[in-house]
Structure 1
Amino acid sequence: MAIFAYLIRLLILFFLYFSTAWFGLRLDPVEGFATLFWPPTGIALAFVFLYGYKLWPGVFSAAFFINLLFGAPYLSALGISIGNTLEALLGSYILKRFIKFNPGISRIRDAVGLIFITAPLSTVVSAITGTVSLNLGGMIDQGSVWKTFGSWWLGDITSNLVVVPLFFLYLHQPFAKLSDLKLTQLILFIINFFISIYIFFGFSDFMTRASPLSYLVFPPLILTSIVAGQKTVVTSAFLAAIISVYSTVKGQGPFAGNDLFYSLLLVQSFMSILSITVILLSAAISENKKLELQKDEFVSIASHELKMPLTTLKALTQLLMKRYQQGKNRSKLLYIEKMEIQINNIIRLVNDLLDVSKLNYGLLELKKEKVSLNRLIDDARELALVKKRNPVTYLPLNNDKIIEVDKERINQVIYNLLINAMIYSAKGKKIIIRIINGEGYITVGIRDFGKGIAFEDRGRIFEKFYRSDDNSSEKGLGLGLYICAEIIKQHHGKIWVFSRGKGEGSEFFFSLPLSTHAH
């Protein structure tokens, strides 16, 4: 079975190498052999790296026969095929031994290693052996040696930059099902495709005369890197490169001119810059996402580990409180009460971290049931009043509303907003809860008469870890309002804040649909 798989890969490599080499050697190569776009280099490197050095016969035989077919003498074809094979083997060795390369190109290290080390170094071998073989075989004279070497080397480098990322991402990672593709990915891919078609086939004289307009492909590709991920942007960049080559060969687009060699040199520069930008940007974004996931995983594990000892500590504190409440040592009881307050604060922070972790992994499940809105607000109000800090006035509707929600989570939202209002209000200042009845939805408003919210903070106050620049002594991690917003969002509701500015107080609102199917 292993031999069968090996032979299949060998045949696929031979076919891809031979067919793309045939295409490359038809693109006005220098002295008939040194082309400015040589896709086989990237294909060979990807296959040898992913499936092992034992695939070298596929590279050697394909290179040998294609050069014979295009008129190279036997010994020259042999020398060229040896150089092409060594190029793939050396490139794979550099990536594995020195770069510790991840074919998912998910780190900046991978991108830099491929672009600035492997691509230029490994291709020198093929360019030197190929040029020397042609010179010794009488195919080129001394005056054409440097031009042939330069074209050969640059063509192979471009192939490593354009072709290798595509093959690595699709051969190393499993193919996505069509059902798994997001609409955003599809839309961005189509946009990139049509922009490439428009630019490189020069639908107007203005476009064909203005080469810099070819770089209009960059903004949508950068957006694709940020929004749609590596596969989509690398595929789009590869497609743009192929379209640019094809249009130039056909005499169209911003790079087309009377001299095909010079035109392809311009295309090569464009493709290299395009690929370098896409590879570096997508690798940086991928690495950043990976670090975010690792951070979330650490927070989740740490929160779980902290919760158990904190629960035990809280239980022991409550036992001590009961013991000293029966005695006359009031000073010790006061210290224990303060200790319990701090333990409760830590537990609240740990619970917030756990909630954020669940939200990040999509694990926050809602257990919906029909409940009384008045009852929900009363429960949260009574819980907040335990702090004995601010009076809370509730202005209910005459007719109670029954809503279908996760009772615990909506209670958490109301409680968090009440505590938030207390923290940012002077002690004794009243807080008002009111209900606004709308068509198909119900809105809850919680108003305080405290510090208010600066205009620049209002747009970011529901962001994760965001904390306004104020002098409050009870600052948390900046998670409470973020969690509230996410819970309301999962109930298909909305949350917002109104404040006239600093010192004017603020009012937080959230609305929930009265129907379970409302969005």
Structure 2
Amino acid sequence: MTVRVLWKNPVVVFVGVVLAYAVTGRLGLQLSFVNSNVTLVWPPTGIATAALLLFGIRYWPAVFAGALIVNLWNGNQAAVAASIAVGKTAAIVVAWYFLGHRFRIHHDLSRVRDVMAILFWGGSIAPIISACWGTATLVFSGIAPAEAALSIALVWWVGDGMGILLLLPLLLVYSQRPSQRLDWRRLTEWVLSLAILAAVGDVVFIGPFGQLSGYPLIYLLFPFMIWLSVRFGSRGASVALFLTAVFSVWSTLRGFGPFQREDVHESLIFLHTYLFFTALSTLLLGAVIEEKRRIMHQLMQERMRSEEASRLKSEFLANMSHEIRTPMSAILGYADLLESDSLEPSTKRSYVRTIRRNGEHLLQILDDILDISRIESGRLTVEPVDIYLSEMMNEMAELFSMRAEQKGLAFHVAVDPGAPVVIKSDPLRLRQILVNLIGNAIKFTEHGYVSVAMSSTEMHDCCELRFTIRDTGPGISGPERERLFQPFVQGNSTVSRSFGGTGLGLAISSRLAAALGGHIELESEPGRGSTFTVQLRIPAAHCIHEITEATDVRSSTENGRESLRVLLAEDSPDLQILIRHMLESTGCTVELASNGQEAVIAAQAAPFDIIFMDVQMPVMDGLRATQELRRLGYAGPVVALTAHAMTEERNRCLAAGMNEHISKPVRRQALIDVIARFTVSASDSR
């Protein structure tokens, strides 16, 4: 069993605190000064305070037990020993409260406020409690005379304070891993610095100058203490302070050294003042050095992150330029070819399909950029509606089977018969996740198969829906998996060159899954393939397992039981021709308006089943035109046509009185869907 495992065992910690307190307390009492219960340095105070800060306040009974044992060991009666133990425990708990609970000091003492808290609350205020309580116990029990109370209280206070000042920083700092590893050069410097400090301390406090109490020879120590603090931070400062305290306390107790005076109280005052300000200067200097190192480390990390972000941005922009220019080149090139009069009809259709395919790819890139922008700014919204899962899975099969077949891949789609038939969620976002994941699987798989499976698990309050996409592609290594769902990141630097893509799809899919109340899991092994699993938790009330009737409003609209009158307000002549053709191909009768003012006049002159209103137009824009129509009492549906696809734009259109929002480029199916939504029920009633 390792040491780390042992220290995680509560029993081991409890026993260790008790033994450490009792043994060091017994050794400390060997230096008793004015009473057999009082010593100039009380090591258990620093040890016990460090134990509570490192292991938790729940170990305060171990502190009390250790204090009780050492006082019984010293020959005190049980009542006296228990009373002194109460005072000691109370002081240590107070020190823990202020240091650990109120100020939450860092154990590496890397902040100036941490050192100041230890000096004030640990070394000065908390010991007053044990000193007053313990002195009162000794006086009232008859162990000490009342006239000695001041001397006892002063020594007690100094002893407990020194125990915290000398040992607490040392134990806290060395309980943490060092921020810098000691190579042989720094290790040599560390050993030599400590040896010189010890030699100078011996000369000043114990050696030939130890009897020269009237001379300020203690200042000879400061250059070496400062050196240790500057070079080794809080670790060097705490060790330098400890060594200096050992020499100064030892010499004072033996009746010599620079702090020895005829009056014992004067000696104690000089000693405590010296150690207090030595601790103040060395520990503060060590904390300043640690703060500087921490700030430099943070600045270095920020610089590295900034350089990495800049590198990713540059790679993304270069990749995005390639991704945009490639379909644009195809669109412009094939558009030029279509101008030839000698092309066969089949060739023209092939060119048109190529232009459409590249246009859709370009639109997908723009949609990805908009989506990641919404996600990063926290403006992503979901609109839950009924989703027919079997239809969605059939759509995935139709969409990707041809693509898989062209690459020679087997493609399977399986649906669990026990899965819900209808769920309420956002179909656009769910479809976007599946398209991204299935598209990636086919793109990166050269041999084998890609399979898509939908399954579900019923729970008491929800249904856990799973979409599992497996492939036999190259797989993804561990380091790549960790960063794969970050924006602008692809598996490795060769992916974009080999397969293309923006590096946004997985990041968007992960965020979208979270917005739908789920997450994406990835299992992959290099050379064996990957498995992406989309898990969604749908409330039970939003899951339907059986339906009796389903109506396809789109087919009824497209077949057109009667011709619908449509007003199209659009200022672009090219888009007027395009959208008018789309609408007339569904059986609608279309009237045109070139700006918002013409649209208002036309809507007042004749009834329309639906108005499609461009937002940005001359004379009067679509928002003002809609507001004017609503003011005049027009109640028919008005649908916005705009190149702005952000959620804020949609909300702005709805606030102006519009019923729906279609973003450009306009697709024929989007027009059909919105016409079905706003006109089928009206035509049925007629």
In structure 2, distance between residues paired with 1:67 and 1:122: 20
Displacement after TM superposition at 1:168 (Å)? 0.8
The separation in 1 between residues aligned to 2:232 and 2:175, in whole angstroms, is 19
1:194 is matched with which residue?
199
The equivalent residue for 1:300 is 304
CA distance change for structure 1 residues 62 and 237 in 2, over 3 Å: closer, same or farther? same
1:185 equivalent in alignment to 2:182: no
**Alpha carbons of 1:306 and 1:198: their partners in 2 closer, same or farther (altered >3 Å)?**
same
Are 1:249 and 2:253 counterparts? yes
Establish whether residue 290 from structure 1 lines up as the match of residue 294 from structure 2.
Answer: yes
- Once residues 185 and 3 of structure 1 are traced to their aligned partners in structure 2, the CA distance between those partners, rounded to angstroms, is 28
* Residue pair 1:241, 1:271 contacting (<8 A) in 2 also: yes
Contact 1:44 1:59 in 2 (8 A): yes
Q: Unpaired segments of 5 or more residues in structure 1?
A: 317-519
Aligned to 1:116: 120
Match of 2:457 in 1: none
Q: What is the rounded CA distance, in whole Å, between the counterparts of 2:14 and 2:318 in structure 1?
A: 66
* 1-structure distance, mates of 2:260, 2:96: 35
| TM-score (normalised: structure 1) | 0.55
- Partner residue in 2 for 1:338: none
Aligned-partner Cα distance in 2 for 1:7–1:282: 35
Residue 259 to residue 19, structure 1, CA distance change in 2 (3 Å): farther
The structure 2 residue matched to 1:135, chosen from 124, 135, 139, is 139
- Cα deviation for residue 192 of structure 1 reads 1.2
* Residues 213 and 256, structure 2, Cα contact 8 Å, conserved in 1: no
- SS of 1:12's partner is helix
1:404-441, Cα deviation, whole Å (9 max, x unpaired): xxxxxxxxxxxxxxxxxxxxxxxxxxxxxxxxxxxxxx
Give me the identity figure in percent.
27
Shift of 1:109: 1.7
Match of 2:51 among 47, 51, 54: 47
Instruction: Give the secondary-structure state (helix, strand or coil) at the position aligned to 1:103.
Output: coil
C-alpha distance 119-10 of structure 1, shift in aligned 2 (>3 A): same
User: Counterparts of 1:323-472 in structure 2 under 5 Å?
Assistant: none
Answer yes or no: is the 8 Å Cα contact 1:29–1:261 preserved in 2: no
Cα deviation, 1:131-160, whole Å, max 9, x if unaligned, reads 221122122333333332232223212221
Query: How many residues are aligned here?
Result: 318
1:294–1:217: structure 2 CA closer, same or farther, 3 Å change rule?
same
CA 1:291–1:142 in structure 2 vs 1: closer, same or farther (change >3 Å)? same
2:78 is the alignment partner of 1:74: yes
Superposed displacement of residue 185, structure 1: 1.8
Task: Check if 1:99 corresponds to 2:103.
Answer: yes
Per-residue CA distance 1:449-500 (angstroms, 9 max, x = gap): xxxxxxxxxxxxxxxxxxxxxxxxxxxxxxxxxxxxxxxxxxxxxxxxxxxx
Corresponding residue SS for 1:105: coil
- Residues 202 and 253 in structure 1, CA contact (< 8 A), matched pair in contact too: no
Cα pair 2:119 2:276 within 8 Å, conserved:
no
Summarize the Cα distance change of 1:105–1:27 in structure 2 as closer, same or farther, 3 Å threshold: same
Pair 265,7 (structure 1): closer, same or farther in 2 beyond 3 Å: farther
Q: Which residue of 1 aligns with 2:87?
A: 83
CA distance in 2: counterparts of 1:171 and 1:203, whole angstroms: 37
Q: Which moved more, 1:275-284 or 1:251-260?
A: 251-260
- Aligned partners of 1:34 and 1:151 also within 8 Å: yes
The Cα shift of 1:265 comes to 4.5
Q: Secondary structure at the match of 1:182?
A: helix
* Larger RCO (CA under 8 A, 6+ residues apart): 1
CA distance in 2, matches of 1:288, 1:178: 19
**CA deviation vs aligned residue, 1:156-192 (integer Å, no higher than 9, x gap):** 1222111100111122337998866532222212221
Give the CA deviation at 1:308: 5.0
2: CA distance, partners of 1:306 / 1:92: 45
Alignment equivalent of 2:151, drawn from 138, 147, 150: 147
Letter in 2 for 1:98: R
Structure 1 stretch displaced more, 165-174 or 81-90: 165-174
Per-residue deviation, 1:313:
7.5
Residue 520 of structure 2 is matched in structure 1 by none
Matched residues in 2 for 1:211 and 1:82: separation? 42
Q: For 1:298 and 1:192, locate their aligned partners in 2 and report how far apart those are by CA, in whole Å.
A: 38
Aligned 8 A contact 1:24 1:38 in 2: yes
What is the CA–CA distance in structure 1 between the aligned matches of 2:180 and 2:289, rounded to whole Å?
Answer: 20
Counterpart of 1:222 in structure 2: which amino acid?
I
Which structure features the higher share of strand residues? 2
- Assess, with a 3 A threshold, how the Cα gap between structure 1 residues 16 and 259 changes in structure 2: closer, same or farther: farther
Q: Does 1:57 align with 2:57?
A: no
Q: Is contact 1:24-1:35 (8 Å) kept?
A: yes
Task: Say whether the 8 Å CA contact 1:35–1:151 is kept in structure 2.
Answer: yes
RMSD: 3.2
Larger Rg computed on CA atoms: 2
User: What is the CA deviation profile of residues 210-236 of structure 1, one whole-angstrom value per residue up to 9, with x for unaligned ones?
Assistant: 442112211111111111232233112
Q: 1:4 to 1:311 in 2, by over 3 A?
A: closer
Counterpart among 245, 268, 273 of residue 269 in structure 1: 273
Q: Distance in 2 between matches of 1:223 and 1:158?
A: 23
Aligned partners of 1:120 and 1:157 also within 8 Å: yes
SS state of the match for residue 29, structure 1? Answer: strand
Q: Distance in 2 between matches of 1:211 and 1:100?
A: 41
Over residues 7-50 of structure 1, what are the superposed CA-to-partner deviations in whole Å (9 max), with x where a residue is unaligned?
33333323332232223323343343233321111111001111
Residue of structure 2 equivalent to 1:227: 231
Q: 1:19 and 1:215, CA in 2 relative to 1: closer, same or farther beyond 3 A?
A: farther
Distance 1:175 1:291 in 2: 13
Contact 1:13 1:58 in 2 (8 A): yes
Kindly indicate whether the alpha-carbon contact (under 8 Å) linking 2:18 and 2:62 is maintained by their aligned counterparts in 1: yes
| Residue identity matched to 1:303 | E
SS in structure 1 of the partner of residue 9 of structure 2: helix
Match of 1:203 in 2: 208
SS in 2 for 1:30: strand
| Structure 1 residue 128: Cα displacement | 2.4
Counterparts in 2 of 1:196 and 1:55: CA distance versus 1, 3 Å: same
Equivalent in the alignment of 1:377: none
The 1-side partners of 2:91 and 2:261 are apart by 32
1:202·1:254 contact (CA, 8 Å) conserved in 2? no
Task: Provide the C-alpha distance between the structure 2 equivalents of 1:129 and 1:52, rounded to a whole number of angstroms.
Answer: 24
- Is the contact between residue 73 and residue 137 of structure 1 (CA under 8 Å) also seen in structure 2? no
State the alpha-carbon separation in 1 of the partners of residues 223 and 8 from structure 2: 45
Q: Which amino acid aligns with 1:193?
A: A
The 2-side partners of 1:179 and 1:13 are apart by 33
Q: Which amino acid in 2 is paired with 1:192?
A: L
Shift of 1:81: 0.4
Give me the whole-angstrom Cα distance separating, in 1, the residues matched to 2:304 and 2:148: 64
Aligned with residue 285 of structure 2, among 281, 284, 304:
281
> 1:325-375 deviations in whole A, cap 9, x for unaligned?
xxxxxxxxxxxxxxxxxxxxxxxxxxxxxxxxxxxxxxxxxxxxxxxxxxx
Residue 122 of structure 1 and its aligned partner are, at CA, apart by: 2.2
